Amino acid sequence: MNADFTTDELQFEIEVQEFLQNDFPAEYREKVDAGIRLSKNELVRWQKILYKKGWAAPTWPAEHGGTGWTATQKHIFATEMALIGAPEPVPFGMKMVAPVIMAYGSDEQKQRFLPDILESNVWWCQGYSEPNSGSDLASLKTSAVRDGDEYVVNGNKTWNTYGQYADWIFCLVRTDTGVKKQEGISFLLIDMKTPGITLKPIVLLDGHAEVNEVFFDDVRVPASNLIGEENKGWTYAKVLLTHERTNISGVPRGKRRLAALKRLAGNTDDGFGNTMLANAAFRTKLAEVEIELQALEYSELRTLAALSVGKAPGPESSILKIVGTELAQEMDELFVDLAGYNCLPFVPEQFEEGFQGDAIGPGNTAAAALTYFNNRKLSIFGGSNEIQRNIISKAVLGL
């Protein structure tokens, strides 16, 4: 048993580090450090830099323009990206709809959609959840009725991230109401410019509208936008959800945030002439987080080792999702702890692009509470942690 990288893998690690040092724009790095959101244009520019290098799609096979990397190479790349603070590609095109198109789309659909995802020319968003179908996703009601060469779509979707920027949406729609709920679902690709689609932004607790509700009112969609067979959408959707859960542990990002916590603690007065890094209670909590992170990292490496000998990601990825998200939320609590009074002001606009005023409080400590609020989503989305525990109980423990 060993957890070492091979010589080639070490060489690859250096190559990735050098590339990121040189090509990840310094101004983006500053923004990420200051807790300011990168705009769509900035994310696209970064994605195009990766595309030029041939590294836009680490999770794709080479035949579609992906890197064709091994599981370990993907892991190294994801780690180095997170350590430097480089944003991952917005997942809805690259990591969610693309694998479904590759596996179940027609050749025409592959040629039509994949290159633009790879080059970041077209942005996608997801149309899965509905107001009454969250954890029980298969109960979804948005309907698509066949009318000649078209489907007529009616209903509404919610928790649609970045819908305001998206060109296309992939949707789960009901095409048969007379069968078991999982058997009447189809997977449909819809152009966001189609008449009858309206978006309603949802403002979250951090004051930012990153999600939307999407309404479909007699939206006519060409039948050629159906993926695979009608009523087989649930099978395709499950593939997508498995991909959504890989890399969700967030270990490298956790390491980066842990380092930031330590730096911040070293710069935060305890009010009694010392810094918070010398505060026994705080040190203990930092240590607990670091230990948990190590346990999570080695859990991920064990999963990775299994993947690299050809095993499919199984229900074990639920462990990574649960522990990874809950650990990230614990770190949010530590940032709030350090910020103290400085995170009480609710001035969300200071973390938006183009804010001109003075920030409140030193550094980005004022962001701590907003991040704490926003990251409560981590244990809710991507299959809530309750659903993940159900998967473990059923699929692993056989209960």
Partner 1 sequence: MDFSNTEEQQMLQESVQKFVQKSYDFDTRNQIMASEKGFSQENWDLFAELGWLTVPFREEDGGFGGSAVDLAVMMEEFGKAMLVEPFIASAVLSGGVISEQGSAQQKAEILPKIMEGKLQLACAYAEQGSRFNLAHIKTSATVTGDTVVLNGSKTAVLNGSNAEILLVLARESGAATDSEGISVFMVDAASTGVTIRAFANVDGKKSAEISLKDVSVPVIQRLGASGSALQALQDSVDRATLAVSAEAVGAMESLLRKTVEYSKTRKQFGTAIGTFQALQHRMADMFIECQLARSIVIMAAMKLDGGDDATEKTKSVSAAKSRIGKAIQKVGQEAIQIHGGIGMTEELDVGHLFKSITAAEIMFGNTDFHTQRFASH
Q: What is the closest distance, in whole angstroms, from the C-beta atom of residue 233 to partner 1 in the complex?
A: 19
Count the alpha carbons within 13 Å of 157 in the hemisphere toward its beta carbon. 28
Residue 205 within binding range of partner 1, rule CB under 8 A: yes
Distance CA 364, CA 359 (A): 8
**Taking CB under 8 A as the rule, does residue 204 contact partner 1?**
yes
When the beta carbons of 317 and 379 are compared against partner 1, the nearer one is 379
Q: Is 216 in the site for partner 1 (CB under 8 A)?
A: no
Distance CA 165, CA 157 (A): 16
| CA nearest to 48, candidates 129, 117, 141, 127 | 117
> What mask of x and - would describe binding to partner 1 in positions 340 to 369, judged by CB under 8 A?
xxxxxxxx------------xxx------x
Q: Is 244 a catalytic residue?
A: yes
Under rule CB under 8 A, which residues in 322-341 are in contact with partner 1? 329, 333, 336-337, 340-341
Write the DSSP assignment of 243-273 as a string of letters. Answer: HHHTTTT-HHHHHHHHHHHHHHHHHSB-SSS
At closest approach, how far in Å is the CB of 344 from partner 1? 4
Partners of 146 in beta bridges:
151
Supply φ then ψ for residue 144, to 5 degrees.
-130, 115
Any contact of residue 271 with partner 1 (CB under 8 A)?
yes
Distance CA 106, CA 224 (A): 9
Residues 72-91 that bind partner 1 (CB under 8 A): none
Report the amino acid identity of residue 169. I
Q: Quick one: 101 or 322, whose CB is closer to partner 1?
A: 322
Distance from C-alpha of 231 to C-alpha of 244, rounded to nearest angstrom: 22
CB of 289 vs partner 1, minimal distance in Å? 14
In this complex, which beta carbon is closest to partner 1, that of residue 85 or of residue 382? 382
DSSP code string of 64-86 = GT-----HHHHHHHHHHHHHHTP
Q: Please, which of residues 128-147 interact with partner 1 by CB under 8 A? A: 129, 132-136, 139
- Helix, strand or coil for residue 326? helix
By CB under 8 A, which span of 57-65, 110-118, 255-263, 277-285 interacts with partner 1? Answer: 277-285
Stretch that binds partner 1, among 40-48, 190-198, 216-224, 265-273 (CB under 8 A): 265-273
3-state secondary structure of 188: strand
- The catalytic site residues sit at 244
Interface residues with partner 1 (CB under 8 A) are 129, 132-136, 139, 158-159, 202-205, 207, 211, 268-273, 279, 281-282, 329, 333, 336-337, 340-347, 360-362, 369-370, 372-374, 376-377, 379-381, 384-386, 389
